[in-house]
């Protein structure tokens, strides 16, 4: 079958393309921006890529078109699909019908930590010989690829609450029907499609309704929003997690930065995780992955051993360079809570060493100015926070300064880089935080710091 994918270079749709190719289909696709690393990954799989959306991209007469949720009516290629009467489907629906059917699906949902936790859980299963399939919204360094079909009955998936397609406004995760589901956390996000937090809670409850009674839901004891979702109705056992508390599954921090902690189940110590990751958010991620792995039969002590070899996901506090006393990190920050927990973990790791956070407010929610106060407060662990304000941003970032005194705002990347170069004489840690390409700042800054 010839499958053509619209929006093929997104992390989810790119993963679908890889899996479709592994199933033996002929795969092509188009996107507005075709560039590495996703374009390289896809081309290596023998997938034909077309840059830009045009009606003629469909002249190959595909048997099926999978349409990504970034596309809407008025897009020339979408209009051509409809006008020609081509068979089309959303990505989540295709995945559910052609890949997940009959599998033991382990889904990871939540506002933050989905990609990292999905990577952790996939690696634990891989380490124990389960050879799972997976689809992850990033590239876990243990695997070097974001998706694969696998050779077992187990499939681990990042379960996103974003909508499925312009013709299916349900959250993606409603299609997946997991037997094991992790609910990492729940906050207001995706302001472009959800009017308020209650609308997101409703979608999460739709997910809860799909989990079988013999399945398992895993969630943090202290998350009030998730607890409210479960109170709407739950027909599945729930395993609760905590840090330095008394939930059924508890992590006792040995190092305050989260790099070493003991795992406790029902007050019985199971072993100690020692790894390179930091931050309490990653401790929660790890604990949830351990519980999910136990649900499929992996002993906690074996999951703990696997996590000791976990290499994280690209762009999650990934060290990209060490130059003359400055350490550069690439972090896929998209929400104030993610920024706060990341910087908190780094601060606990490096002590009084200088931290500079460099932020591109690129997610739809941050671009709309929804999180003004919380964004400013999330930067409190940085000695200096530099915010890039491009012309297209719909609100004045100057409002951030009302809530924090460590913020400086620059309207051009040249000015951002010049400021960072002038600060380099003090050394320290530069955390580049964006869920996009940040105008190529990663390489440009390295070039400048190298002189």
Provide the pLDDT for residue 363: 58
Q: Are 355 and 383 in contact (CB under 8 A)?
A: yes
> Partners of 328 in the beta sheet?
321, 430
Q: Is the pLDDT of residue 366 over 70?
A: no
CA-based Rg of the chain, rounded to a whole angstrom?
22
> Partners of 409 in the beta sheet?
387
Q: Give Cα 280 to chain centroid, integer Å.
A: 17
First-last CA distance in the chain: 52
Number of domains comprising the chain: 3
Please tell me whether residues 140 and 81 are part of one structural domain.
Answer: no
Please tell me whether residues 415 and 338 are part of one structural domain.
Answer: yes
**CATH at residue 356:** 3.90.190.20
Name, in order, each residue with C-beta under 8 angstroms of 367's C-beta and a sequence gap of 6 or more: 361, 393, 394, 395
Q: Identify the CA nearest to 179 among candidates 201, 157, 161.
A: 157
**CATH at residue 23:** 3.40.50.720
pLDDT in tens, 5-64: 999 998 899 999 999 999 999 999 999 987 777 778 788 888 999 999 999 999 999 999
**CATH at residue 170:** 3.40.1190.10
pLDDT in tens, 294-338: 999 999 999 999 999 998 877 788 898 999 999 999 988 767 888
Please tell me whether residues 259 and 351 are part of one structural domain.
Answer: no
Q: Exposed, middle or buried, 195 (CB in 10 Å: 0-12/13-18/19+)?
A: exposed
What is d(CA 106, CA 100) in angstroms, rounded to the nearest whole number?
A: 10
Q: Which domain holds residue 61?
A: 2-91
Q: Is the pLDDT of residue 225 over 60?
A: yes
Residue 368: pLDDT band by 50, 70, 90 thresholds? low
Cα dihedral value 254, 250, 299, 135, nearest 10: -100
Q: Is the pLDDT of residue 367 over 70?
A: no
Q: Give Cα 38 to chain centroid, integer Å.
A: 15
C-alpha angle 209-212-217 in degrees, rounded to nearest 5: 75
pLDDT in tens, 231-252: 999 999 999 999 999 999 999 9
pTM of the shown model: 0.84
Q: Which helix (H) or strand (E) holds 96?
A: none
């Amino acid at each position: 079958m010839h499958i053509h994918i619209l929006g093929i270079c997104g992390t989810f749709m790119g993963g679908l393309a890889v899996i479709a190719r592994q199933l033996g289909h002929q795969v092509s696709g188009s996107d507005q921006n075709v560039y590495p690393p996703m374009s390289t990954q896809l081309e290596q799989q023998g997938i034909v890529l077309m840059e830009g959306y045009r009606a003629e991209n469909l002249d190959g007469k595909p048997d099926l078109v999978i349409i990504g949720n970034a596309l809407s009516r008025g897009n020339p290629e979408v209009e051509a699909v409809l006008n020609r009467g081509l068979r089309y489907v959303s990505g989540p629906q295709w995945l559910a019908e052609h890949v997940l059917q009959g599998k033991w699906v382990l889904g990871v949902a939540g506002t933050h930590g989905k990609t990292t936790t999905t990577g952790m859980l996939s690696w634990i299963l891989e380490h124990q010989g389960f050879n799972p399939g997976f689809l992850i919204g990033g590239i876990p360094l243990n695997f070097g690829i974001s998706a694969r079909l696998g050779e077992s009955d187990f499939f681990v998936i990042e379960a996103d609450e974003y909508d499925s397609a312009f013709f299916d406004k349900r959250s993606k995760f409603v299609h997946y029907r997991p037997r094991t589901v992790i609910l990492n956390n729940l906050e207001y996000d995706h302001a472009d499609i959800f009017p308020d937090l209650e609308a997101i809670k409703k979608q999460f409850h739709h997910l809860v309704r799909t989990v079988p009674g013999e399945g398992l839901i895993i969630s943090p004891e202290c998350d009030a929003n998730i607890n409210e979702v479960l109170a709407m109705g739950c027909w599945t056992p729930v395993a609760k997690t905590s840090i330095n508390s008394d939930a059924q599954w508890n992590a006792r921090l040995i190092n305050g930065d989260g790099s070493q902690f003991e795992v406790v189940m029902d007050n019985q110590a199971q072993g100690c995780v020692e790894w390179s990751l930091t931050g309490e958010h990653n401790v929660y991620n790890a604990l949830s992955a351990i519980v999910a792995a136990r649900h499929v039969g992996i002993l906690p002590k074996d999951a703990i051993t696997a996590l000791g070899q976990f290499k994280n996901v690209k762009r999650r506090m990934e060290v990209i360079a060490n130059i003359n006393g400055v350490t550069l990190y690439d972090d896929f920050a998209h929400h104030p809570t993610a920024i706060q927990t990341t910087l908190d973990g780094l601060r606990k790791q490096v002590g009084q060493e200088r931290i500079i956070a460099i932020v591109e407010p690129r997610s739809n929610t941050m671009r709309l100015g929804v999180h003004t106060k919380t964004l400013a407060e999330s930067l409190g662990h940085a000695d200096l926070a530099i915010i890039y304000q491009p012309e297209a941003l719909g609100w004045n970032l100057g409002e951030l300064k009302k809530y924090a005194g460590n913020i400086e705002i620059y309207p051009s990347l040249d000015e951002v880089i010049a400021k960072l170069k002038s600060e380099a004489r003090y050394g320290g840690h530069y955390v580049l935080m964006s869920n996009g390409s940040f105008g190529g700042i990663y390489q440009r800054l390295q070039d400048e710091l190298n002189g």
